[in-house]
Amino acid sequence: MRIDFHSKVSEPFLYACRLVRKARAAGQSMTVYHNDIQALRRFSEMLWTFSQEDFLPHVMAGDALAAQTPVLLTHQDLEHAPHTGLLINLSELIPEHFSRFARMIEIVSAGEAETLAARERYRHYQQQGHQLSHHVAK
């Protein structure tokens, strides 16, 4: 599995919106994970409003249209997520069942605590033998 860390991100949700837009332009379906449902709802609102030119159809996990909608948002276990190509992790946790996905992007904000948590996740993934890369946000 390929895992890309994007660090020093000043506005993680806005950054994630841009990643979702880019992945959708490439025809990818994806799952976006955050362990906090309220944060995920704020992210959902951002997907609707961050760009006047782009339509990024998305639903929360459990929605009747989840399997047909290209962007799935979830705070739950990923074991049954219908889209397993790309996982975007907006949380500071290691998502359960992340290894079901072909690729994961970890978005890490610029804060010290977030950076330390990301380093722990990086080590965990490295010990499991995943292919890792690191990108510093511009």
Q: Which domain holds residue 99?
A: 2-136
Query: What 8-state DSSP symbol labels residue 92?
Result: S
pLDDT tens-place values along the chain, 138 residues long: 999 999 999 999 999 999 999 999 999 999 999 999 999 999 999 999 988 888 899 999 989 999 999 999 999 889 989 999 999 999 999 999 999 999 999 999 999 999 999 999 999 999 999 999 999 987
Residue 126's pLDDT is what? Answer: 97
Neighbouring residues of 29: CB distance < 8 A, sequence distance ≥ 6: 70, 71, 72, 83, 85, 86
In terms of DSSP H, where are the helices of the chain? 12-25, 37-49, 112-127
CATH of the domain at 84: 3.40.50.10110
Residue 45's pLDDT is what? Answer: 95
Residue 129's pLDDT is what? Answer: 97
Q: Which residue has the tokens 């994630």?
A: 16
* Number of domains composing the chain: 1
Residue 135's pLDDT is what? Answer: 95
